[in-house]
Amino acid sequence: MTRLLPVVLAAALVTQAMVTPASAAPADPSAAADATQEGATFQVDAAQIEAAEQQAAAAPAQAGRPGPTPGHGNRAMASLRTAETDENFYFVMADRFANGDPTNDRGGIDSDDPSVTGFDPTRKGYYNGGDLQGLRDRLDYIEGLGTTAIWLTPSFKNKPVQGTGSNESAGYHGYWITDFTQIDPHLGTNDDLAALIQDAHARGIKVYFDIITNHTADVIKYQNPNFDPSKPVNDTNRELLDGGAYVSKDSRPYTDAQGRTFDDRDVAGTDAFPELDATTSFPYTPVNPAGETDVKVPAWLNDVTRYHNRGDTSFVGENSQYGDFFGLDDLFTEDPVVVNGMIDIYGTWIRDFGVDGFRIDTVKHVDDQFWQAFSPAALKIAHDAGKKDFFMFGEVYDTTRPFTSHYTTAGQLQAVLDFPFQDAARSFASKNGSAADLQTFFADDDWYTDADSNAYQLPTFLGNHDMGHIGYFIQSDNPDAGDATWLAKDRLAHQLMYLVRGNPVVYFGDEQGFTGTGGDQLARQTLFASRVAEYLDDDLIGTDRTHAVDNYETTHPLYRSIADLAALTKKYPALRNGAQQNRYAAEGPGIYAFSRMDRTEQREFVVAVNNSTTAQTATLPTYATRAGFSLVYGAANGVPDTAKTDRAGKLTVSVPSMSTVVYRADGTIPAARWAPNVKLMSAAPAADTKGRMEVTARVGGTGFAEVTFQARIAGGQWQTIGTDDNAPYRVFHDVSALDPGTKVQYRAAVLVSANNGKGLCRSTGVLSAKVPAPGITIDSPTEGGAVHTDGPITISAVTDPEKASNVVTFERSVAGGAWTAFHTDDSSPAYVATDDLAAAGFTDLPNDTPVRYRATVSTPSGASSSAEIGLTVKDRVTTATVHYYRPDQQYLDWGLHLWGGAVDPATLAGITWDTSPLQRTGVDADGWATYAIPLVDDLQRVNFILHRPNGDQVPATREPGGDRSFVPVQSAEIWLVAGDPTVHISKPAVG
């Protein structure tokens, strides 16, 4: 089968400087055995390395897919840097920034009704009036912040309003697209965008688009098979339904137009993908309702067979990639028509408007095959259009590096938004977390190191439009600290973000101390004077101003601090893209110190950030002995202007409370006279994923070095798999495409700078390893859970790595008995089985009888592995009870916001955040309020937030703990105490 790609992609060869032995190479390169390379000394011109870097930066390489290394000998190279390691992003929602043209506020719709136009400046969920002209008018403000790239939320034409009743809101945010070819009329026109890009480019500022490939606006409805036209129309008796419960591929596979069953992952993106029939191919029958049959542009988007049509996602397992995202129509991204259509759509914006890059929404909800086609094709279009530094980064909302880095290796994206950094930065700057945790965090950057990308490209951020402002986190974590402390922590968080690796992203309003009371709509305040009541109560950091007035203050302390950091990193580029080396970290709050190293200039910077409430001093190693350092940042802290290392290269720095200092070496580091020893220490499957091999090297000495790793399938050609420029030296090689048992060989070479303008190198021998069998995890139900004998039991498993060729067999053991196979599933990405104990003959099992399930994955090569979980038989629970205690006994309208598959849908239908959380049924004699929750599935989690209507201020109108949950079959009753985030499963003492 052949891939259906819109462009022909040349094999991507990541060409870096070839490092040859100082002695002449043999005429036949294959004549030199790999073993003889160990310890060999090489040299390379600095000019060669620089030229190779430029070539690699310009090449439209496929991430993680380097070409073969030609010729003889190991290659040592500099760690990759491209133009995408030096951006200062300003992330802005056009509707909320500035209203430059009030005539477009209603989007050209001739109505004053907000439910039609979507415009209502008094409501946070509607268009407030900002537009592209407003951005153009205030480019001075954006430029003054040190911005080099504007990142716009999606600006394409949206469905103006979606939802009904209290769930109605507008598409001001841009994520409900109907027309992918024009700017939303509320924001302006295509010509306005072209003018904005032209004006920004004249200032040296790039413009990035936020794009969506996962879904469109909510248009598609499902035919109701139970509709009775003779009865009154109501929520359940309607001809067309807004959505439905997710139906798995295992229980209802896809069928082609001829009725033949197929697994889409087996043919994803190929010419074997079949034609589908809307009436027979899907578990639901999708239709475009009258009046919206051709609302989407381009026209192919109106074909309902180009969507998954499996019901609503709950964001777990298979349905995370196939279900409708809050009802939004989920595109069938495995279909080559969709792949090519999206490439065509966004290629036009690159070619015709000069867009400089993309932030890609909901990446983890789309299959890998889509990204493997889309990313290289979009890059080629950009490069052909003359945009050699075009840059794309994806939103992967997760904080685990093995998962997020999957999309820069197997997924072939250039970068992902650094959600793990956001979590680490908040812990350090806002929560006074351990400096040692921050050091460990950066040591794991090696997950991102591959042939054409690394952690230096990652966009870093502190808050966003979904999570909330960094100011909100700081106030929530330190509710009684006061403005001076909040401001210091906010500055510290930005100092950390600007001075560590990556591209810093400022979420608009952070520079004005915006806070808010939560995420989503509560974090989308206008910079122009607001009329939204919920925003007017916000307590901004660093100012007495409110949202009732414009907030474009270039004298705001946070605006000035961010501008100063941008100027500092512009003056000293090493602070943005120099190698980052951990130097010191306190156990607990205190100093985290690191070096940034300019490889070309060979000059070291030392950065020390202190999150402690007291001044701290640390002594840390550097690359140079008895060398002078000068203070280049932090003079206002009253620290010494100069410092000097001792004979061991140790530097002592003092850092005031919640502050940062930066010292720059007065001279360059001593040039090496010989290459250090280098040895491959191990090559083994990574502990966190079976699809990656952790390859580590040890380098002798303490100087600055860069280690290049290469791999080959035994007997094949060597491929470069990444260069690491800080200790510990390692890469996590992506072997997910290889068959289990495949033998892979590894070697490495170290590069250091010499005093003759050459690079001195030394190579290792060869180390071999085998690709492991895939891993498998049963993700539902969870270990220690419960089962019932009077109904179906659903078991779900995922494999690592995910492959369409995997086959999973499910088995059960009851009361310690023999294992019995009851289902086999070969439909990826998740594997599902339904068991019925009663149907299998287990009808009278007493409570607490153990039942175990096992899932075994097999591959075409015969390798297999298994996972087990243990459950117990329990009686069914039909009502869950929440007990809530307030010492003041003032329960007022405190209620429960509920969601999830456990709760009776009729109960959920009556719950809204703004007006109607579930209210108490009474207060008992001990003063505990009681809430009764009707259930439909006691095996699933009851997810809840305890709050007052529309209340999101902890602790005044919302209880702490964020999104909390419990499983009713395990604990049918729980107890909550005001101000305590703990979910108690037994009644605690109060009073």
Instruction: Report the catalytic residues.
Output: 361, 395
For every residue of 582-614, DSSP letters joined together read EEEE-SSSSEEEEEEEETTTTEEEEEEEE-SSS
Per DSSP, the three-state class of 107 is coil
What whole-number distance in Å separates Cα of residue 796 and Cα of residue 518? 33
Identify any residues that bridge with 642 across adjacent strands, giving them in sequence order. Answer: 630
Tell me if 827 sits within 8 A of 253, measured CB to CB: yes
What is the biggest distance separating any 2 CA atoms in the chain, rounded to whole angstroms?
A: 94
Provide the H-helix boundaries in 500-573: 533-536, 557-571
What whole-number distance in Å separates Cα of residue 6 and Cα of residue 445? 34
DSSP E strand stretches across 845-924: 850-858, 864-873, 879-885, 895-899, 922-923
Report residue 205 CA to chain centroid gap: 25
Which residues lie closer than 8 Å to 185 by C-beta, 6 or more apart?
Answer: 104, 107, 108, 109, 157
Distances (CA, A) of 736 to 15, 335, 800: 23, 22, 8
Q: Which two tokens stand for residue 39?
A: 């310890």
Q: Which of 266, 563, 214, 586 is CA-nearest to residue 433?
A: 586
Neighbours of 560 (CB within 10 A): 17
Task: Map tokens 């929520």 to a residue.
Answer: 235
Q: Which of 773, 762, 654 is CA-nearest to residue 708?
A: 762
Q: Which two tokens stand for residue 121?
A: 């400046």
Angle at Cα 668 formed by Cα 667 and Cα 672, nearest 5°? 145
Q: Which of 357, 347, 353 is CA-nearest to residue 503?
A: 357
Q: Which of 807, 795, 797 is CA-nearest to residue 863?
A: 807
731-766 burial, b if ≥16 CB within 10 A, otherwise e? bbbbbbebebeeebbbbbbbbbbbeeebbbbbbbeb
Q: Which of 215, 203, 116 is CA-nearest to residue 168?
A: 116
Q: Give the type of residue at 101.
A: D
CA atoms within 13 A of residue 542's CA, in its CB half-sphere: 25
Tell me if 95 sits within 8 A of 129, measured CB to CB: yes
Q: Which of 297, 299, 318 is CA-nearest to residue 308?
A: 318
Neighbours of 292 (CB within 10 A): 16
DSSP E strand stretches across 405-559: 415-416, 459-461, 503-507
Neighbours of 889 (CB within 10 A): 9
Identify any residues that bridge with 946 across adjacent strands, giving them in sequence order. Answer: 896
Q: Which two tokens stand for residue 675?
A: 């290459």
Which residues lie closer than 8 Å to 549 by C-beta, 6 or more apart?
Answer: 529
Distances (CA, A) of 917 to 830, 946, 948: 34, 8, 7
Q: How big is the chain by its Cα radius of gyration, in Å?
A: 29
- The sheet with strand 286-287 has its strands ordered as 240-241, 221-223, 286-287
